[in-house]
């Protein structure tokens, strides 16, 4: 077979990234080559996100941009996969004739056959229900070699009224614990030091298999793997914060005291309309439980501003709650009205300018909180993994347990000795700004 170069663009969340890596593994095993230069690619695959309006627009813009390489580059065929493709299959096929193949969210199983078909000039579509099939240990990592995302489940049983994900990816389907353990061992063997566990709701991992959440036992197993220095848990809902989970995290030095816990709101009526299981009281209790277990826990959350019918009073309740709970990290999103969700048809949809203004107001409140939380870290020493060297500035950028790649900031540090990306060193924090820390590497003499 002549050398065929494939370019792949992965949009959206880390779970989508894992799907992309599975596709890359299959393509590599089938003899295809990869390029990061779209003008050189014979095939371009865009793995799309369809979660909110901004993500959908980014996906469409990317597809149209890549299609131009049929005229200006070597591109023979364009393949679109992922959530947007699965959600809007008929509309996309009608409106994007530039695309040669559309695949759903479980694209990895069909990707090699699809590439063969489009290279022969055949247009194709293939959609299956989302599943967990695939050789996860054989995927091609798109992260730096020292950390990797581990998808522990697919789909979601939560039916939050604003979210389209269950309609795209289906109900919760957990991967067997033994399979995840073997994947993690393989990653460690190949130099991965940090595992980042992801799912739509990691706190419900195993519920469909064992009829009870199994996230704590899974963490217990993964913590025993030699070479793993950090295990990080993302997307853990407040009602999943159990004593068993917190005790497991605190018992192991290589499990990060970092909990990403999306709360979305703090007004009970809004939470009810969102179809969330939590109340203001239960969210406050979850945060209190975590902080009382260990003051070193880093808490991250997300909230939605401008949900349908959100009054000024309810918005003030959200703002006050953010001030009370003092999350170390917080992301705010203006409510996005998504077709097919219950919230889409709710009355009292707010104007876009109101939603955007409230989102900005929340982030202004959080900026002051983040600055105060960062200043508490001055004078402390952390284990930091080096992510990047900035030789012109004489600095390195790194992360401690308190920073998740891609969503949190990094620690800028100076060092009297050369440091390599992917290695760890101890860093003394000297200064803190709103979202930035500055430190210096320290050495045991």
Homologous superfamily, domain 5-126: Methylthiotransferase, N-terminal domain (3.40.50.12160)
Q: Which residues contact 95 (CB under 8 A, 6 or more apart)?
A: none
207: left (phi over 0), alpha (psi -120 to 50) or beta: alpha
Sequence-distant (6+) residues with CB within 8 A of 25 are 108, 134, 135, 138, 139, 140
CB 43 within 8 A of CB 4: yes
C-alpha–C-alpha distance, residues 294 and 337, integer Å? 38
Tokens of 162: 């604003």
Q: What is the CATH number of domain 381-442?
A: 2.40.50.140
Closest CA to 377 of 330, 322, 437: 437
C-alpha 201/C-alpha 169 separation (Å) is 13
Number of C-beta neighbours around residue 354 at 10 A: 16
Contact status, residue 219 vs residue 252, Cβ threshold 8 Å: yes
Find the helix or strand (DSSP H, E) in which 59 lies: helix 53-67
Backbone phi, psi, residue 123, to 5°: -90, 145
CA dihedral 82, 146, 201, 126 (to 10 degrees): 20
What are the Cα distances from residue 182, in Å, to 21, 138, 176, 188, 303? 17, 11, 10, 10, 35
As a whole number of angstroms, the distance between CA 311 and CA 308 comes to: 9
pLDDT of residue 260: 96
Nearest 5°: phi and psi at 203?
-70, -15
Where do the H-state alpha helices sit in 165-311? Answer: 165-169, 177-189, 207-210, 215-222, 243-251, 268-273, 280-293
pLDDT of amino acid 47: 93
Other C-beta atoms closer than 10 Å to the C-beta of 150 total 22
Could you count the other beta carbons within 10 Å of the beta carbon of residue 189? Answer: 12
**Domain-wise residue ranges, the chain:** 5-126, 136-372, 381-442
Q: What is the pTM of this model?
A: 0.94
Q: Please list, in sequence order, all residues whose beta carbon lies within 8 angstroms of the beta carbon of residue 184, skipping any fewer than 6 positions away.
A: 150, 195, 222, 225, 228
CATH of 136-372, one of 3.40.50.2020, 3.80.30.20, 3.30.310.10, 3.40.50.620: 3.80.30.20
pLDDT at 32: 94
Going residue by residue through the chain, which has 445 residues, state the pLDDT in tens, using 9 for 90 and above.
578 999 999 998 898 899 999 999 999 999 999 999 999 999 999 999 887 788 888 999 999 999 999 988 889 999 999 888 878 877 888 889 899 999 888 777 889 999 999 999 888 887 776 566 678 888 999 999 999 999 999 999 989 999 988 888 889 999 999 999 999 999 999 999 999 999 999 999 999 999 999 999 999 999 999 999 999 999 999 999 999 999 999 999 999 999 999 999 999 999 999 999 999 999 999 999 999 999 999 999 999 999 999 999 999 999 999 999 999 999 999 999 998 899 999 999 999 999 999 999 999 999 999 999 999 999 999 999 999 999 989 999 999 999 999 999 999 999 999 999 999 999 999 999 767 899 999 987 5
């Amino acid at each position: 077979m002549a050398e065929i170069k494939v370019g792949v663009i992965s949009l959206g969340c880390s779970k989508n990234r894992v799907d992309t890596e599975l596709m890359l593994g299959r393509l590599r095993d089938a003899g295809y080559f990869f390029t990061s230069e779209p003008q050189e690619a014979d095939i371009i695959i865009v793995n799309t996100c369809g979660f909110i309006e901004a993500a959908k627009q980014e996906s469409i813009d990317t597809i149209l941009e890549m299609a131009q390489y049929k005229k200006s580059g070597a591109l023979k065929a364009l393949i679109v996969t992922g959530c947007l493709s699965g959600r809007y299959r008929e509309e996309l096929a009608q409106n994007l004739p530039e695309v040669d193949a559309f695949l759903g969210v479980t694209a990895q199983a069909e990707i090699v056959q699809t590439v063969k078909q489009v290279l022969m000039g055949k247009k194709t579509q293939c959609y299956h229900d989302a599943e967990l099939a695939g050789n996860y240990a054989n995927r091609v990592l798109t992260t730096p070699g020292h950390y990797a995302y581990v998808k522990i489940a697919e789909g979601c049983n939560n039916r939050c009224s604003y979210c389209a994900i269950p309609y795209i990816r289906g109900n919760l389907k957990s991967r067997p614990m033994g399979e995840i353990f073997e994947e993690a061992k393989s990653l460690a063997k190949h130099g991965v030091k940090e595992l980042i566990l992801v799912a739509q709701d990691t706190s419900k991992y195993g519920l469909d298999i064992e009829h009870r959440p199994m996230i704590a036992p899974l963490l217990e197993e993964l913590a025993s793997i030699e070479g793993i220095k950090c295990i990080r848990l993302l997307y853990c809902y407040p009602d999943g914060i159990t004593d068993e989970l917190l005790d497991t995290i605190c018992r192991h030095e290589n499990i990060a005291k970092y909990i990403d816990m999306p709360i979305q709101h703090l007004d009970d009526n809004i939470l009810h309309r969102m179809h969330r299981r939590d109340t203001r009281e239960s969210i406050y209790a979850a945060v209190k439980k975590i902080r009382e277990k260990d003051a070193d826990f880093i808490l991250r959350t997300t909230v939605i501003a401008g949900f349908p019918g959100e009054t000024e009073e309810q918005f003030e309740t959200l703002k006050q709650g953010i001030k009370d709970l003092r999350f170390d990290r917080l992301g705010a999103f203006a409510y996005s009205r998504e077709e097919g969700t219950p919230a889409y048809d709710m009355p009292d949809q707010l104007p876009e300018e109101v939603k955007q203004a409230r989102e900005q107001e929340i982030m202004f409140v959080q900026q002051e909180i983040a600055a105060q939380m960062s200043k508490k870290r001055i004078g402390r020493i952390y284990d930091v993994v080096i992510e990047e060297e900035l030789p012109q500035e004489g600095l390195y950028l790194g992360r401690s347990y308190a920073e998740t790649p891609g969503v949190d900031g990094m620690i800028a540090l100076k060092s009297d000795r050369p440091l390599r990306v992917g290695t760890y060193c101890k860093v003394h924090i000297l200064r803190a700004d709103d979202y930035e820390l500055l430190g210096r590497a320290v050495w045991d003499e």
